[in-house]
Amino acid sequence: MFRNQYLLTNKSITDQKDTNKIPIGEFSLYFGKDIEHYTVKKNKTQITLLGYVFHCYNSFSEQELIENLLTLDEGEVLNEIDNWCGHFILFLGSKNIKIYNDACASFKVFYGEKNDSKVIGSDPNIINKFFDFEEDPNPDKLRFYQSKFFKKNSIKIGHDSRFKNLYQLVSNHCLNIKNNTSERVFPREKRKELSQELAGKKLIDIFNHLTCLIEKRHTIYASLTAGYDSRLLMAATKNISNKVDYYTFKLPNQKEDYIDYTLPKKITSDLGLNYSFIRIKELPENIKDNILTSYDFPRLREFEQYRNIFPENKKENILLVGFVNEVAKNYLESVKVKNGKDVVRAVHLPDNNYLERYYQNWLNKNQKLISDLSYEVLDFIHWEQDITNFAGQNIHYAHHYVRLFSIFNSREILRIMLSVPPKKRDGKSPIFFKYLIKNMWPALMRYPFNNTLREKGILFMKKIKIYPFYKYLQLKFQNYGKV
């Protein structure tokens, strides 16, 4: 079994070296011994959890959390899982099994059916070690996956994979194994608007609770740049800051006088905090080959970033990052998308018939439901495309070496953040983020943020109210290539 991987199937396969095996109904779950696991059974119900969880409101262990699920009905289970913040996959049931994962789908779920056997796994490569899913022959899809754009960026597309009849479970969905279909589980209720003061109080209480729980179990390293995301993360660690080591990655080919490198040094020096500046090194060829065997078209940068960068400690290391909160920053703005081609350009992908069809189908299936619940459609496109396939994928790859964790990776937290009026969550000048930082760690507001010239230009266009028209023109006439 590959490291950081699992496989669930009703097909008989030979037991694997260095692998745990748990029966779940007619299925067998195989997973690497590096993966934490918990199981509970009662009457005809079985629940198995892979990974780890911190609860937004209580201090239950993972075992206690899944035991508590046994006492809940289906609706209550969904509400409870929304309150989980972690990197996990949950197998619920033993006959009619449903599979849930974390808010950004960082614990990956790929699923398909071949020769009357069902299979679920963490990556197409682990699945194809025992099955033979062929690459999809659709010419438009092939053109995308064979393009220079894809080979450079390795961007996965929503719930699709490059293989025929093999799919990915994206954020806000669960997998019903009985009919091998993905089912939306969030949002379930209409968005209720909250003031930034009320939402802020709720979130600050949750952040303080989570960081306290994490510190009890882990040696903490927290990412720090000059951006809003990491500053918000840093503010959330205020109460445990003397027990945190802050760090910044030095990317190749970037000068050391870049504000993302100079400002973290100044902040941590001024505040007397522990800090590390880490230069990323390229992977040795033998390790690179092993990774390419384990994962389908992985982005190697994540493996370079997180490979053995900190010494082992008595309490297991965990690296905190500011990923995922971008869901609540109007990342794709509020421009109206009318068709699949508009979405392709909104998410900065090249024009391609396969991509346009995929996003047209997404709109047909999801646009009305999300709009009727008073959420912004582009926020969910961003969440279920970019967050699933960038932030979520990054966290998944990092776990090949170390626990990488976002305290924002909870649907409860994101629900509260999205409840704040959109004008206070503008990605270029997030008033609500500044409010949270100021209320958690006021001293951090003395330092500038890394607004680029482009972002300053966008803020000016918004101030004089021409930006919506600019975005409309950009959506209609600017493409990112064609494949």
Per-10-residue mean pLDDT, the chain, length 483: 91 88 95 96 93 98 97 94 98 93 98 96 96 96 95 93 97 96 97 98 98 98 96 98 96 85 97 96 93 94 92 96 92 82 92 97 97 95 94 96 97 98 89 97 95 75 78 77 86
Q: Please report, for residues 88, 325, 473, the alpha-carbon distance to residue 81 in angstroms, rounded to integers and kept in the order given.
A: 11, 18, 41
Give the fold, CATH level 3, of 196-328+385-450: Rossmann fold (3.40.50)
| Contact residues for 13 (Cβ-Cβ < 8 A; gap 6+) | 7, 28, 30, 130
Looking at 166-243, which runs of residues are DSSP E strands? Answer: 166-168, 173-176, 181-184, 219-223
Pairing of strands 27-32, 45-55: unpaired
Backbone angles phi, psi at 337, to 5 degrees: -105, 130
Pairing of strands 219-223, 27-32: unpaired
The pLDDT of residue 450: 83
The pLDDT of residue 1: 67
Q: Would the CATH topology of 6-184 be identical to that of 196-328+385-450? A: no
Report the C-alpha gap between 104 and 153 in whole angstroms.
19
pTM as predicted:
0.95
3.10.180.10, 3.20.20.10, 3.60.20.10, 3.40.50.720: CATH of 6-184: 3.60.20.10
The pLDDT of residue 167: 98
Q: Retrieve residue 170's tokens.
A: 């994206």
Pairing of strands 98-101, 84-92: antiparallel
Contact (CB, 8 A) for 58 and 68: no
User: Measured between alpha carbons, how far apart are the two ends of the chain, in Å?
Assistant: 36
Q: Which residue, 209, 37, 138, 178, is CA-closest to 357?
A: 138
Domain ranges (residues) in the chain: 6-184, 196-328+385-450
The pLDDT of residue 478: 76
Contact (CB, 8 A) for 357 and 340: yes
| Other Cβ atoms within 10 Å of 184 Cβ, number | 16
Q: Which residue, 215, 217, 278, 214, is CA-closest to 246?
A: 278
